[in-house]
Structure formats: structure tokens, C-alpha cells
Amino acid sequence: MDLRWSGINFEANAITIEHTVTVASISGKNVIVAADTAKTKSSYRTLPLIPIIRAKLLAVKAEQKASRQLCGKSYSNAEGHYIHTDIAP
């Protein structure tokens, strides 16, 4: 499972789990597989966004924005919709 910014609702203080990211070995190579599905129906869920986690997420979002501005065109937007962007296998 990996969270995307679209799964965070700061106004409603909620986190929605609806996306998965896994690493699979295909032909001897590790490949990142992302899907807009969860493993089971119970995996889809909305959780409360508690104040300490909310504050941390806002700090991470600000760091990503600063990095994007600092790096300009060199910043990889491909992973920009994820909260945690170090997904290399």
C-alpha cells in the first residue's frame, strides 16, 4: 500500500486507502506495480487523520513543494502524487 495525496482530505481530517504499490519480480527484474485497487474489499477504508499525522503530512507536502521549486524542471513529477516518493526497488 502506498498513499497518494489524493487520498488525504485535510478539510475532513480523513485518509482514504484505495491504492496499492508492490514490487514484483518479472523475468528476474524487480518491477514496481501500482494499481487503483486494494487486495480485498475490507482493504478499502477511510481512517481519521489525527492531529500529529496531519501536521507531519503538511510538513512533508511543504518539503516536496520546496524541492519542486528548487529543482525546477529536474524534479521528477512522475512520483509527485505520492506522499512517500522513494519507491525504488
Between CA 84 and CA 49, with CA 21 as vertex, the angle to 5 degrees is: 50
**Structure pTM?**
0.66
> What pLDDT, on the 0 to 100 scale, is given for residue 24?
72
Report if residue 50 sits inside a domain: yes
Q: Which residue has the cell 518479472?
A: 26
Q: Please write the tens of the pLDDT for every residue from 62-82.
A: 988 888 888 888 776 665 577
Q: Is residue 87 part of a domain?
A: no
Is residue 60 in a domain?
yes
What are 45's strand-pairing partners? Answer: 17
Whether residue 85 is contained in a domain is answered as: no
Tell me the pLDDT tens digit for each residue of 13-60. Answer: 999 887 666 667 788 887 766 656 656 666 667 899 999 999 999 999
Residue 87 has pLDDT above 50, yes or no: no
Task: Report in angstroms the alpha-carbon separations of 48 from 2, 14, 16, 26, 28.
Answer: 17, 5, 9, 36, 40
State the total domains in the chain: 1
In a domain, 33, yes or no: yes
Residue 89 lies in a domain: no
